[in-house]
Amino acid sequence: MNTNRLKKAQRILDFFHNNFGLHPPYNVLVDGTFCRTALEEKLQIKEQIPKYLGAQLKLVTTQCIIMEVEKLIKINSNLYGAWLVVKQFPVHKCGHAKNPIPASSCIKSLLKKRNPAKYIVASQDDDLCQYIHRRVVGAPILYLHYKTPTLEKPTEKCLVVASKKSKTLTVFEENTLKSLKRKYIEDDQQPRKKRKKPKNPNSLSCKKSKKVKLPQQGIKEGKRKRKRHRTKKISKPSSTISGE
């Protein structure tokens, strides 16, 4: 197979893995239309699809899908081969065992809005694919372009949901953000404590105290100075030298 095609498929699968939790082994939900086209194009589904997706996968179907093809054989006998192909795949429980419904309705009911069972839908049913485009996110569509398996690009709807998800934080990111906030809050509080700390200003005040001591001495001597001032006026040189 063309390596560019494989890389492209891998990128699409990575997108659905990162944004919608799809991971190997993939559940590839195969319907009658896909089996019919594969048969017409002589494509071996079991061989080619795992090669194209480059991962472990399970090809599965539902009872409703098998029943629908079986009924249609009565109208179009050419579908007998498609019925033989589709009924060889393991059957996933769809909840309609007692009252089978049309295949497309069955697939829609399994996909719901967010593809909870993480299916890759293998179908050539245009109506079903358009429904998935409009209503479902996180469900890759696999179709056959002649005999070439092709994964559809993610729809606009998927891209929008993915971009919104990327803006929201994961649990891990939230926790780290909380811890960062705590640190910042602690950091904010720490300088306040530092401000309250009297030790540093004391050390400064100790230095000051040396200077202060001098004025204190001065104060003690202030009385004398005052006296000296008085005396200075009278006799400056003799009193100041003798005072110091």
Say if residues 164 and 137 touch (Cβ distance below 8 Å).
no
Bond prior to 25 in cis (omega within 30° of 0): yes
In the complex, least distance from residue 104 CB atom to Zn ion, rounded to whole angstroms: 10
Q: How far apart are the first and last CA of the chain?
A: 105
Contact set for Zn ion, span 207-236 (CB under 5 A): none
Is 86 or 94 the residue whose CB approaches Zn ion more closely? 94
- 94 contacts Zn ion (rule: CB under 5 A): yes
By the rule CB under 5 A, 124 interacts with Zn ion: no
Residue of the chain from 29, 67, 106, 139 that contacts Zn ion (CB under 5 A): 106
- Could you tell me the smallest distance in angstroms from the CB atom of residue 122 to Zn ion? 16
If binding is defined by CB under 5 A, does position 67 make contact with Zn ion? no
Whether residue 91 contacts residue 61, with contact meaning beta carbons closer than 8 Å, is answered with: yes
Is 19 a binding residue for Zn ion by CB under 5 A? The answer is: no
- Which among 57-65, 73-81, 133-141, 159-167 is the span making contact with Zn ion, rule CB under 5 A? 57-65
Interface residue with Zn ion, options 8, 87, 96, 153 (CB under 5 A): 96
Closest approach of Zn ion to the CB of residue 177, in Å: 44
Q: Which stretch binds Zn ion (CB under 5 A): 28-36, 95-103, 158-166, 189-197?
A: 95-103
142-161 b/e (C-beta count within 10 Å ≥ 16 → b) = bbbeeeebbbbebbeebeeb
CB of 62 to Zn ion, least distance (A): 5
Q: Would you say 112 and 132 are in contact if contact means Cβ atoms under 8 Å apart?
A: no
Joined together, the tokens standing for residue 86 give 């589709």
Report, in Å, the least distance between residue 110 CB and Zn ion.
7
Q: How far is CA 162 from CA 82, 110, 138, 155, 202, in A?
A: 36, 21, 9, 11, 59
Smaller CB separation from Zn ion, 13 or 103: 103
64 contacts Zn ion (rule: CB under 5 A): yes
Radius of gyration of the chain (CA): 42
Establish how many alpha carbons lie within 13 A of residue 148's alpha carbon, considering only the half-sphere containing its beta carbon.
Answer: 9
User: Distance from CA of residue 111 to its chain's centroid?
Assistant: 21
Residue 86 near Zn ion by CB under 5 A: no
Query: Shortest gap between Cβ of 175 and Zn ion (angstroms)?
Result: 41
Distance CA 35, CA 238 (A): 124
**Is 62 near Zn ion (CB under 5 A)?**
yes
Give me the least distance between CB of 182 and Zn ion, in Å please.
51
Binding region for Zn ion (CB under 5 A): 62, 64, 94, 96, 106
